[in-house]
Every structure is written in structure tokens, then in C-alpha cells.
Amino acid sequence: MTTSTKQMGRAGARSRTLGSLGQLFARYGIVIALGLIVLALSVLSDNFLTSGNLTNVLRQVSINGILAVGMTFVILTGGIDLSIGSVLALTGMVGASLVVGSKPHSPILAILAALAVGVVAGACSGIFIAWVRLPAFVVTLGMLSAVRGLTLIYSQGMPISNLSSGFKFLGQGTFLGIPVSVVLFGATALAAWVVLAYTVYGRRVYAVGGNMRSAHTCGINVRGIIFSVYALMGLLSALAGVTLTARTTAALPQAGVAYELDAIAAVVIGGTSLTGGIGGIPLTVVGVLIIGLLNNGLDLLGISSYYQQVIKGLMIVAAVLIDKARHADAA
């Protein structure tokens, strides 16, 4: 074997190694990033790895986690939903209003009513997007304003407090030592993962986001799938709304402002493509944890919330750039 042949062989081996490392980073880079964040914050702050702080982090991310699970379905179809913060506020207000007063209803009835309102709100967006064929950005931006207005009308701009203990259990109680809100987030994420990974409906969601025309040609009810993901997003927004209301012990008309940004950030950072068809629940959960851990860690380090917004914005841009580069390599 000549020297040049040996050199070519070594160059090929290095190229394959670098290619394998690149694929490994592309697939698990977000998990590696999460590990590095945990390592860095544990070194910088003695209070970070305490059980109390980690439990608090999980409790804090549970609301955004529930929203991000729903947003994953929406973005997988190539859509977006900017109205979820307003739907969260309205449904929290509806649920709270039913458990206070001279004749309070049962917490279960109040929660079911709030969930129904959320589904209706999401379905309204779904109708305009799927059948009227208006852009999702425009429809949900309009719903953001309209639903916020309905929240203010319903509450007359006033908070609702003095919630029943049964209702507050949803946000403050524990199950087997785990906060109920965290259990709800875990159950929601697990159910969503099973649906997307192992059901016909999940495959159709990916198909619609991957190529809507081809999905229609294959006999998939594209409009029905699009409608369903917005209705599901409304349902999960309502679940997050009643959970947040129970945790804060009051329904606030201004609740949920900019929550849609955190949910979108978690999904995009988790690697779900904004063009649809690529992504999944496990990495969305990692994205949720990254945002929650960063917020918590920066708070522990005494860094201003203003800088936290800058960091979060840069993370979103970086995630989109990575997604764009990945698509360019695939092409």
C-alpha cells in the first residue's frame, strides 16, 4: 500500500468520524446542551441542585410544558397559535368564577366547563384556518386580541379569588409526593408522545406537515387534521389555565401574556421544524426544561429578567438557524 493510499484512508476515516459526530450532535445536541446547562448552573450556584429548587423548577415549567405539548401538534402541521395566552386567561377565569359565589359549583364541573371553553376557542381558530383557509398567523393573532377582550368583559377587569380548596388542589396539591401540576404535565406529554409515535392520527399529523398536497392525495382529511390540532391546543391551553389559576389561587384577567412565546420557543429549541413534519414530544420536553432551568439559574445568579429575555430571543434565532442549516444539508 502506497503512502498516498494510506493518507487517503486516514483522511476518509477522519471524515467518517467527523460525519458521525455531526450526526450525533444533530440528533442529541439539545440533550447535550441541557446537560451542559445543568453542569454549569450546579457549579455557579450552590442552591441549584437542591431538591427544593428542582421541585420548584418542575412546578414552574409545568404550565409552559402543557402549552408546548399542544404547540408541538400545531407546528408539526406547519401552523402556529398566538392565542394560547389569551385562551389560558379566559378559561382560568371561567373555571374560577364557577367555584366562588353564594352557590359555588363543584371543582370538577368548573374544570370541565373551562376545558370546553378552551376547545371552542381552539375550534374557532381551526375553522378559519382549515376551511376558510386564512393564514394561521393572522387568525390566531386576531383570536389573541378577541379572547383577551372577552376575558376582560367576563371578569369586568377584576381578578377572582377565594377559590375552593378542591379547585386549588390542581395547582398546589401533591400526588405521591409529586406536585399535581407536574403530574399533569408528565401525563400530557406521555399521552401526546404515544399518539404521535404509535397511532394513525399521529402519522397523519406528520404527513400533513410534511407535504399537505401529498397527504390530501393519499386520502388524508387534511382540513380535519388541521382543525383537530387547534382544538387540541385550545384544550391544553384550558388545562394550563385552570392549573395556573389554582396554583396562584386567583384568576387574573392579564394572566398568560406572552406565554405563547415561551411555548413556541420550547418547541423550536426542541428541534421541531417551523415548516412542519419534523419534531416530536421528547425533545419539546427537553426544550421546556432548558428554558425553565435557564430562567431559574439566571434568577439564582441575580441576572436581570431583561437579559433573560435577550438570551431567550437569541436561543430561538439560533434554533431556527440550525433548523435551516439542517434542511439545507438534507436538500
Asked if residue 241 lies in contact with residue 114, where contact means CB atoms within 8 angstroms, the answer is yes
Asked if residue 267 lies in contact with residue 68, where contact means CB atoms within 8 angstroms, the answer is yes
* Segments of the chain scoring below 50 in pLDDT: 18
| Alpha-carbon gap, residue 167 to 180, rounded angstroms | 12
Asked if residue 217 lies in contact with residue 127, where contact means CB atoms within 8 angstroms, the answer is no
Range of the domain at 163: 50-257
38 in a domain, yes or no?
no
Instruction: State the pLDDT at residue 253.
Output: 93
139 in a domain, yes or no?
yes
138 in a domain, yes or no?
yes
pLDDT digits (tens, 9 = 90+) for 191-244: 999 999 999 999 999 999 999 999 999 999 999 999 999 999 999 999 999 999
Q: Is 186 left (phi over 0), alpha (psi -120 to 50) or beta?
A: alpha
122 in a domain, yes or no?
yes
292 in a domain, yes or no?
no
Question: Into how many domains does the chain fold?
Answer: 1
Instruction: State the pLDDT at residue 307.
Output: 82
The pTM score is 0.89
Instruction: State the pLDDT at residue 104.
Output: 85
Instruction: State the pLDDT at residue 151.
Output: 96
230 in a domain, yes or no?
yes
List of residues 6+ apart from 158 with CB closer than 8 A: 253
285 in a domain, yes or no?
no
240 in a domain, yes or no?
yes
Q: Is 208 exposed, middle or buried (0-12, 13-18, 19+ CB in 10 A)?
A: buried
